[in-house]
Structure 1
């Protein structure tokens, strides 16, 4: 599809009776558009791959998706900085490779990827759906929002900052109206490099992570009004 767009753009640029410079400018514009589409596609593959690896506890493979100086923040666990620190922090979710009788699905949905004009950085917002289970214990449903940054290094996209806002967790049988599981806090076994970057509470509170992109129709920044929450400081 991308190659077809480039070919169509080239034909259009060369078929329009205009000065040579105008045709060159048109062709350059089409090339840039195709490059940005390719960047967007590469980032979506990168994030989807993160989900597939994370699901199966492939922590080494997950860590290799990050830039060397990347930041990783999951819920209220705090911020881990650098690929090696991220690699070790992932063990807090369980041992390397998913154990029998466990489920750890983290689905990446509703992608909105914005690539910078120079094609070197990007942002992405995703909806996260979680299914967790452990043999002998009840299952858990979860939801959350990813607000991520990406960087291109030597022509390859990496995750520069992953921030997953856990917005709700519940017992599978009890359901959302009878069960609200609080987020896990900072680990004493492997403390984060920095405390959580934001103070908020998950469901039944309705925290909304700030949008990294403007309104797609009006072009205006999206003004998020957070619900009142005395405990988290929004009073």
Structure 2
């Protein structure tokens, strides 16, 4: 039997992962449940673990595996499903390097090569989840992506290099799926083109007339730019990890 707050937190995590592919941060969970401190979230997560509803993935920031939902919501999830959900947590054209014309924020991760109901998306290069690197734009290959991960508009894939987004569940070597867009809401993970020649994968924050590109790793500082120096090239909509 879950308390009201335990139930609300479990449902919030479940819906966020299902809709965006990225688990909520502790701050987001705190705000959603209207708690005054993150210590309350830690206690709720521990209680959900003890009751068998959640499992924390070792050595992975923000990786919460949903083991089961309350009986009145859904039957117990299969391990393969929940592992995929946990690894994709939290919640994007063309050759090796990042994508200058990259345009793309979170859906379920699936193993690469899973072609059932898949749509081919062009893999167009590497994107730096760290210090921005030179952007290139040449198609390298096609990546089969589950159709449920793809929404409206055009999409492309990028290979992630670096570890600045690990607390958003995005690891070095992951493949991110990006939805082309030249606009994004604050808080979304985007492909940002800086000064028309460097692309990076970061969380967008708007601060007055400036734009902050925020890492999800305390080892990296948030970079602040004038709005005219940053162009949104796309939003993260999915992530695929190879094992």
TM-score when normalising by structure 2: 0.23
Larger CA Rg, structure 1 vs 2:
1
- Flag the structure with higher helix content: 1
Say which structure, 1 or 2, has more relative contact order (CA 8 Å, 6+ apart). 2
In the superposition, the TM-score normalised over structure 1's length comes to: 0.24
